[in-house]
Structure 1
Amino acid sequence: MRWDNIYLAGLGVHLPEDVYTAEQAVADGVYDATAAVTNGIRAVRVAGPDESGPVMAASAGRQALARSEHRPEDVDAVLHAYVGHQGREFWSPAHYVQQETVGANGASVTMEIRQGSNGLLGGIELAAAHLTARPSATAALITSGDAFHLPFIDRWTSDDQTVFGDGAAAAVLSKRGGFARVVSTVSATEPSLEPLYRGPEPWSRTPFDDGKPVNLTARKDDWLMKNEDAYDDAVGLVGQKVAGVLEQLLDEAGMTLKDAQWFVHATLIRPIAEWSFYKTLDLDPATTTYEWGLDYAHMGNCDQFAGINHLYETGRLKSGDRLVTIGAGIGFMWTAAVLEIV
């Protein structure tokens, strides 16, 4: 979808102060030394007792709103994305974020987005559609926040392809203006890959009913070992979807990937990042924020906008730059966007 008059007006990030290095995790016996070297993740941030996902998301949201120079009453939609436990059951974290950022002023839509690690980027597309469809709407706030803690999830070992770091990010989209124009967004889904993260176990009757940390690696291994072609088929299908999303995105934006000054992706472990982006797309690592992200690991939905915020805060974005960003969420779903710095 190519957008007219949709802008990224403000970004916000909340990163806990507590740093836990991979080196220390190995010394503590909670992370395998070989995996640490192979995966390349250097550290994570660890949320404190009072830093639940929604609390961090609200902090990031307030920063994004202040930077956007919009008032709380300008915000017509609040969308909150997350991956893991939000600190309460049978509760609405999205409305907590709304109350702590814009209050009861203005917003006519407050909703959660559960799309794995693609929620925040997918939220950009949803928010842009909302603003376009409602002539009276000025801005939308999209937030995300997650804290990955035992015993529910082991940030180092629950998924052999991911190290989970805590944090939050937020963005304000506006029709009034901003520092970047949303040129185009494209999303695609592939539900045939849903079994990858479901696993063979019987349906649980309650959350966390066996008392053991989530084992995403075992779920994936079970499905991928069903036949000798399952792994290659899954990898091939993911590659086709990513290529298709990027091709449509760049076509709608009237550009090629080489025209982009920046490419921002999730903080995946090094073998996957190198295969998915640097080899497959022939990307120059210097045009990404990946090296910076290795000190924070995969923060659920937050990696891309935390990375863009890093470029913003370090003054590396200049007028006329085009930035491509892409995300993926289990299910599966991919969203990519082109931003133009104005």
Structure 2
Amino acid sequence: MRWNDIYVAGLGAHLPQQEHTVEQAVAEGRCDAEEARANGIRAVRVAGPDETGPVMAAAAGRQAVARAGLPDGDYGLVLHACMGHQGQDFWTPAHYVQQETVGGTGMAVEIRQGSNGGLTGVELAAAHLAGRGRPGAALVTTGDAFRMPYFDRWGSDSQQAYGDGAGALVLSSRGGFARLRSTASLSDSSLEPVYRGATGWTDAPFADGSPVDLGARKEAYLLRDEGGYDRVIRQLTKNASEVLQTALDDADASLSDARFFVHANIAESIVRFSFHEQLGVDPATTTYDWGRDYGHMGAGDQIIGIDHVVEARSPQSGDLLVTMGVGVGFMWTVAVLEFLETPQW
């Protein structure tokens, strides 16, 4: 989708102070040394007892809203994306984020789209603003804290190390420091069973008292028949290439035009294969080396990564940033941003 007059007006991030290194995880028996070398993640951040996903998201949201400098009345939509437990059951964390940031009576909606949640929110927010008959703004937040015994950040998923953190992005139709040139999304529900696995249904979260085991679910599905693993990899690669090209075409851009490319902080072997080799992404344009000190922050890697680009990589007017997410389900989203200026903050 090509967008007109949709802008990024503010960004924010909240990253906990406590750090847990891969060396500590190996010494504690939380992570296999060989797998640690393969995934390339050096450390993750660990949230404190009071730093739930929504609490961190609200902190990031307040920063993004302050940087945007827009009236609270502009915010007709708050979207909160997350993966893990949000600190309470049968509760709506999006409304907590709304209350703690912009207030008001606009819609507040939770997004559960796995690692693609943040970028899903960006595309939905852009559509919301484009359909309004008056200037407005939307706040997109992400926030996750991965805690034992429900989720083992070093062992619940194969080739992944999960870090705690939150991000926030303000979209506005009034103006901003960057223009949203395009977004594109693609779903492939034929791949839905990959993360559901083949182990049957449960009656409640944490029903057996053991940490979530995503690795076992994937293995049960991918190895159910000969050639299943290779078939899924081919489909993942095809879909990623298609959605990336669609977003670039809608932005009248090519991948070589992008000064920055922001993807998830995932295993180094997957990054090399999926992004460098298959998509042709230049490693120098990415935020991956920075991300290796934070791990996979649930729904927020892309928004937090964009915040890092603005704060540390000196984007200039005319620079393009491409960001890509993929979440369980499966769904891919790509967004193309054009910087109009370097924010003073």
Q: TM-score over 0.5 for the alignment?
A: yes
Matched, 1:335 2:333: yes
Name the counterpart of 1:84. Answer: 84
Matched, 1:51 2:48: no
Name the counterpart of 1:303. Answer: 301
Name the counterpart of 1:227. Answer: 225
Name the counterpart of 1:41. Answer: 41
Contact 2:35 2:159 (8 Å CA) reproduced: no
Q: Secondary structure at the match of 1:20?
A: strand
Q: Secondary structure at the match of 2:250?
A: helix
Whichever residue aligns with residue 212 of structure 2, its letter is V
1:246 positional shift: 0.9
Contact 1:264 1:288 (8 Å CA) reproduced: yes
Q: Secondary structure at the match of 1:263?
A: strand
Name the counterpart of 2:317. Answer: 319
Whole-angstrom CA distance in 2 between matches of 1:40 and 1:316: 26
Q: Deviations over 1:130-158 (max 9, x none)?
A: 01111135100000100001111100011
Whole-angstrom CA distance in 2 between matches of 1:284 and 1:197: 29
Q: Secondary structure at the match of 2:338?
A: strand
Q: Secondary structure at the match of 1:207?
A: coil
Q: Secondary structure at the match of 1:186?
A: strand
Name the counterpart of 2:8. Answer: 8
1:315 positional shift: 4.6
Whichever residue aligns with residue 49 of structure 1, its letter is P
Name the counterpart of 1:215. Answer: 213
Whole-angstrom CA distance in 2 between matches of 1:200 and 1:244: 29
Deviation >6 Å, runs of 4+: none
Whole-angstrom CA distance in 2 between matches of 1:202 and 1:192: 18
Contact 1:167 1:299 (8 Å CA) reproduced: yes
Give TM-score scaled by structure 1 length. Answer: 0.98
Whole-angstrom CA distance in 1 between matches of 2:51 and 2:171: 25
Name the counterpart of 2:175. Answer: 177
Whole-angstrom CA distance in 2 between matches of 1:163 and 1:137: 41
Q: What are the within-5 Å matches in structure 2 for residues 1-342 of structure 1?
A: 1-103=1-103, 105=104, 107-342=105-340
Q: Secondary structure at the match of 1:255?
A: coil
Whichever residue aligns with residue 11 of structure 1, its letter is L
1:202 positional shift: 2.7
Q: Secondary structure at the match of 1:56?
A: helix
> Which one is further off, 70-79 or 327-336?
70-79
Contact 1:75 1:137 (8 Å CA) reproduced: no
- Kindly, what percent of the aligned residue pairs are identical? 57
Whole-angstrom CA distance in 1 between matches of 2:229 and 2:38: 20
What are structure 1's unaligned runs of at least 5 residues? none
**Considering only aligned residues, what root-mean-square deviation do their CA atoms show, in Å?**
0.9
Q: Deviations over 1:106-145 (max 9, x none)?
A: x421111111111110111100000111113510000010
Q: Secondary structure at the match of 2:13?
A: strand
Whole-angstrom CA distance in 1 between matches of 2:79 and 2:281: 32
Whole-angstrom CA distance in 1 between matches of 2:317 and 2:118: 24
1:278 positional shift: 1.0
Whichever residue aligns with residue 192 of structure 2, its letter is E
Q: Secondary structure at the match of 1:118?
A: helix
1:30 positional shift: 1.1
Contact 1:76 1:137 (8 Å CA) reproduced: no
> Which one is further off, 310-319 or 237-246?
310-319
1:281 positional shift: 2.2
Whole-angstrom CA distance in 1 between matches of 2:93 and 2:323: 26
Whole-angstrom CA distance in 2 between matches of 1:124 and 1:284: 24
1:79 positional shift: 0.5
Whole-angstrom CA distance in 1 between matches of 2:53 and 2:250: 35
Whole-angstrom CA distance in 2 between matches of 1:57 and 1:23: 28
1:29 positional shift: 1.5
Q: Secondary structure at the match of 1:117?
A: helix
Whichever residue aligns with residue 190 of structure 1, its letter is D
